[in-house]
């Protein structure tokens, strides 16, 4: 089996690659499990050394649009594509053309390339909860369900909604097996902040645990759907393995979400690392970030994902402790 991961050099892409390699095989859409013989990772940057050094991994570095135009990917025989590559929310709002090239044009070109394979590959598209939004003058739908009408209020959300529509039509035409997966905000991410407006949901935990001050740019009562990295990766794999009957006629589903406020996140941080950690939080509203975050839903339900056996984290304490366990070198404060 040959699998392609776009965005394979990033945090989620690299983590997904490691999980697939460790698993060793994949049962696509309920078919008998096949051994993973080749895993192609595309990104603007090379993947981490542990992946580059695995003989099953092929790294193709460059702009995804250029790689698709030159037909370097997807290779003949590609069975599954995990499309994770994207420009993030803050970048798209600041640079409309970047977002359209990275999130619309690249997704369209990838779907055309998959169509050209003629083998109906399974495409797992990472969409976002940002496809839902609070329309001016209207209340936020509460809760957001799998079949709630997308009403994006950001360029990023709009581009992801366009991607969902393209996935649905390419699937309807039989060019691909379409699996659209709406990711919740993944927290806690290690490393440095990225350009996503939601990056502070990781930073307000990651930085204090490292003994560094962090800004919380939204009010404490702000509610947001969260899912840990490990559960996000397990969900992506399960969505590729679900049978067509399990998946059902709808192309997209919401991943499970832990519903919590920013205040509750800070309280969990204090339970895990004490008041020394929460004392490093600077509560200062950033109007630009708040403008985006205020249009995103806080209460998201995931009946279809739950039926696949996928569930949210039990608590944000669990989310923080997962990060602590996986990143001991980054923890400077005593953890209880």
Non-local CB neighbours of 222 within 8 Å, separated by 6+ positions: 261, 262, 293, 294, 298
Query: How distant is the alpha carbon of residue 81 from its chain centre?
Result: 15
- The catalytic residue among 132, 156, 316, 323 is 156
The answer to whether the Cα torsion of 127, 304, 256, 299 is positive or negative is positive
Specify whether the CB–CB gap between 82 and 110 falls below 8 A. no
Q: Where are the beta strands (DSSP E) in the chain?
A: 2-6, 25-26, 34-35, 38-43, 57-61, 78-83, 122-128, 177-183, 185-186, 214-216, 223-227, 252-254, 258-261, 281-283
Local structure of 217: helix, strand or coil:
coil
Task: In whole angstroms, give the CA distance from residue 222 to residue 88.
Answer: 20
What are 242's two structure tokens?
């679900």
Burial of 193-214, coded b for 16+ CB within 10 Å and e otherwise, reads ebebbbbbbbbbbbbbbbeeeb
Look-up of token digits 């990104």: 43
Helix or strand (DSSP H, E) at 53: none
Per-residue DSSP letter, 334: -
Catalytic status, residue 323:
no
Phi, psi of 89 (to 5 degrees): -60, -50
DSSP 8-class letter at 144: B
Could you give the residue numbers annotated as active site? 156
């Amino acid at each position: 089996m040959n699998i392609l991961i776009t965005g394979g050099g990033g945090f989620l892409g690299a983590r997904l690659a490691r999980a697939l390699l460790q698993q060793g095989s994949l049962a696509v859409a309920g078919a008998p499990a096949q051994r993973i013989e080749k895993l192609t990772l595309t990104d603007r940057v090379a993947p981490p050394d542990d992946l580059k050094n695995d003989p099953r991994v092929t790294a193709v570095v460059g702009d995804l649009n250029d790689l698709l135009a030159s037909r370097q990917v997807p290779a003949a025989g590609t069975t599954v594509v995990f499309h994770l590559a994207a420009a993030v929310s803050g970048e798209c709002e600041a640079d409309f053309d970047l977002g359209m090239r990275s999130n619309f044009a690249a997704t369209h070109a990838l779907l055309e390339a998959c169509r050209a394979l003629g083998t109906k590959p399974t495409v797992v598209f990472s969409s976002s909860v940002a496809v839902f939004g609070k329309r001016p003058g209207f209340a936020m739908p509460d809760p957001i369900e799998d079949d709630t009408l997308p009403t994006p209020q950001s360029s990023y959300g709009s581009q992801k909604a366009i991607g969902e529509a393209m996935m649905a039509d390419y699937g309807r035409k039989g060019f691909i097996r379409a699996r659209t997966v709406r990711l919740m905000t993944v927290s806690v991410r290690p490393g440095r902040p990225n350009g996503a407006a939601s990056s502070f949901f990781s930073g307000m935990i990651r930085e204090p645990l490292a003994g560094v001050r962090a800004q919380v740019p939204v009010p404490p009562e702000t509610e947001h759907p969260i899912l840990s990295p490990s559960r996000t990766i397990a969900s992506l794999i399960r969505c590729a393995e679900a049978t067509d009957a399990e998946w059902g006629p709808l192309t997209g589903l919401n991943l499970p979400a832990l519903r919590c406020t920013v205040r509750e996140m800070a309280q969990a941080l204090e339970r895990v690392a004490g008041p020394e950690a929460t004392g490093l939080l600077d509560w200062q509203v950033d109007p630009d970030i708040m403008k985006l975050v205020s249009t995103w839903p806080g209460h998201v339900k995931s009946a279809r994902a739950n039926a696949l056996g996928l569930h949210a984290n039990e608590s944000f304490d669990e989310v923080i402790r997962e990060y602590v366990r996986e990143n001991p070198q980054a923890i400077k404060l005593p953890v209880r």
